[in-house]
Structure 1
Amino acid sequence: MDAEAETTGARRGPAAPLPAAEAGFDAIGLARHLLRTIRSGALATLDPQDGTPFVSLVTVATDTDGTPLMLLSRLSAHTRNLLADPRASLLFSAGGKGDPLAHPRLTVTGRAIQSAEPRHRARFLARHPKAALYADFPDFGFFALEPGAGHLNGGFAKAAVLRTDELRLDLAGAEALVAGEAGAVEHMNADHLDALALYAAGTGAEPGPWRLTGLDPEGMDLLAADRTARVLYPEPVREMGALRKVLVAMAARARAGEGSDPA
């Protein structure tokens, strides 16, 4: 072992998680899947009086690039903490049957900043429609957790740390796609619920009815009541023309797989 490797090993320690690129499994893909599919998480903030960690349950959505979004009330302790010190962490846990520690979870650390970006509001309410009942109350506001790092535990013997650029999508060149998202979502939900059902089924999800809540260069986010599904495209897209072609091809393949006429 060379000197650099010895130094790196000593710094990490014997049980430290590897960088995502060295983890031996698709750590980036799993982390992004957790970000996109989990609708609530444990938010840890710092009490401004004495620095005591304070953990609470919050509902979560994501921006187009994967940045976590929250709708918080200033009457809540966690919001008061964030307004005094924006440092925070947010735990996304898949949960499931059996040992809770056998299921994947992701902790994102960073700074939670209040946001007036209309897209943040739209994407959050698409993910949590009932929140529209109180989103405009004067004490509520949207916050974006600007990620500094991700800490992933994918289950037994699967751990990795992720950089900001591994958690979030690079949206360079996808400006038209971001700008056209709302129209595309409305169109798909109005005219193509059958295709959305096919996309969801392709992920192994149970029947819906499924609705589209958001799309991005990597895939689509679907919602059926309190259930979510993440649909990845065969390849990334960065403009609307390419998106339409990919969605048509995906629906055709799904129909053909069911034995239906792909036309």
Structure 2
Amino acid sequence: MSAEAAKHARQLLLKEYRGVLSTHSKAMPGFPFGSAVPYCLNEAGWPLILISRIAQHTKNLQADPRCSLLVAERGADDVQATGRLTLLAEAVLVTDEAAVMAAAERYYRYFPESSDYHSVHDFDFWTLQPVRWRYIGGFGAIHWLDHVALANPFAGLQGGERGMLEHMNKDHAAAIAHYVQQAALPATAEACMVGIDSEGFHLRIGHAIHWLAFPHGCTSPGAVRQALVAMARR
């Protein structure tokens, strides 16, 4: 049951791309401080955020890196009956130059508009290193989980995620459009594939991010190709 709950929790984390970051208030000691933040997942499967150095939540994290990220299923009519996930984490500032470049390359795929204010203002990348997870899959489906995150086997791999994304966006726009239609996603703008992991892929449509699951798990680029072809032929 815990493995199944962890899978559902991870899929919720993948499907959403924004949550509520709660930090320990520096200005009001003893009180939690909540902020809405967008995120994507790094190569380890941990949330990656980009926040301003002058923001209150950044000052809070600098004083105490313990935090939580609440992610809830979007568009829910009854929030009590739908999935929500709370990640208890230690926030870690990304400082290594190579790691910053890798974080930027990944994050800007999901949120390209953020590259402008990142270059003008003082923003930094932080990763939320998991400590424990609390997943509620609906009424009565409550779980404490120690292992939810799953490393992306294609991140940083030569001919891996980045190469597959470039190939799909350049040569298979029709297939991507078919995935959008097949999943009944809003076709308000041209879809762009921005992320691939072992369990599915992310599409960016306008400012919105959508994750679609593969028919089965994929452990190699060849398996990803077969899964994408199968989905295109449905």
TM normalised by structure 2 equals 0.86
- Given the superposition, is the C-alpha separation of residues 169 and 156 from structure 1 closer, same or farther in structure 2, using an over 3 Å criterion? same
- Given the superposition, is the C-alpha separation of residues 246 and 160 from structure 1 closer, same or farther in structure 2, using an over 3 Å criterion? same
What's 2:21 paired with? 43
Kindly indicate whether the alpha-carbon contact (under 8 Å) linking 1:102 and 1:155 is maintained by their aligned counterparts in 2: yes
Kindly indicate whether the alpha-carbon contact (under 8 Å) linking 2:199 and 2:218 is maintained by their aligned counterparts in 1: yes
Q: What SS does the corresponding residue of 2:219 show, helix, strand or coil? A: coil
Q: Counterparts of 1:68-87 in structure 2 under 5 Å?
A: 68-87=47-66
Gaps of 5+ in 2: none
Q: Counterparts of 1:106-145 in structure 2 under 5 Å?
A: 106-116=85-95, 117=99, 118-145=101-128
Deviates more, 1:236-245 or 1:153-162: 236-245
- Given the superposition, is the C-alpha separation of residues 84 and 32 from structure 1 closer, same or farther in structure 2, using an over 3 Å criterion? same
Q: What SS does the corresponding residue of 1:243 show, helix, strand or coil? A: helix
- Given the superposition, is the C-alpha separation of residues 71 and 96 from structure 1 closer, same or farther in structure 2, using an over 3 Å criterion? same
Deviations 1:74-117 (A, max 9, x none): 10010011112111100111232533323321111111111142
Q: What amino acid maps onto 1:67 in structure 2?
A: W
- Given the superposition, is the C-alpha separation of residues 199 and 43 from structure 1 closer, same or farther in structure 2, using an over 3 Å criterion? same
Q: What SS does the corresponding residue of 1:200 show, helix, strand or coil? A: helix
RMSD across aligned C-alpha pairs, in angstroms? Answer: 2.4
Larger radius of gyration: 1
What's 2:162 paired with? 182
Percent of pairs with identical residues: 34
Q: 1:152 aligns with which of 123, 135, 155?
A: 135
- Compute the displacement of 1:43 (Å): 0.5
Q: Does 1:34 align with 2:15?
A: no
Distance 1:221 1:178 in 2: 20
Gaps of 5+ in 1: 1-18, 255-263
- Compute the displacement of 1:66 (Å): 2.3
- Compute the displacement of 1:48 (Å): 4.2
Aligned residues: 228
What's 1:14 paired with? none
Distance 2:158 2:81 in 1: 36
Query: After the TM superposition, which parts of structure 1 deviate over 4 Å for at least 4 consecutive aligned residues?
Result: 173-179
Q: What SS does the corresponding residue of 2:54 show, helix, strand or coil? A: coil
TM normalised by structure 1 equals 0.77
- Given the superposition, is the C-alpha separation of residues 197 and 40 from structure 1 closer, same or farther in structure 2, using an over 3 Å criterion? same
- Compute the displacement of 1:154 (Å): 1.7
- Given the superposition, is the C-alpha separation of residues 213 and 76 from structure 1 closer, same or farther in structure 2, using an over 3 Å criterion? same
Distance 2:14 2:82 in 1: 16
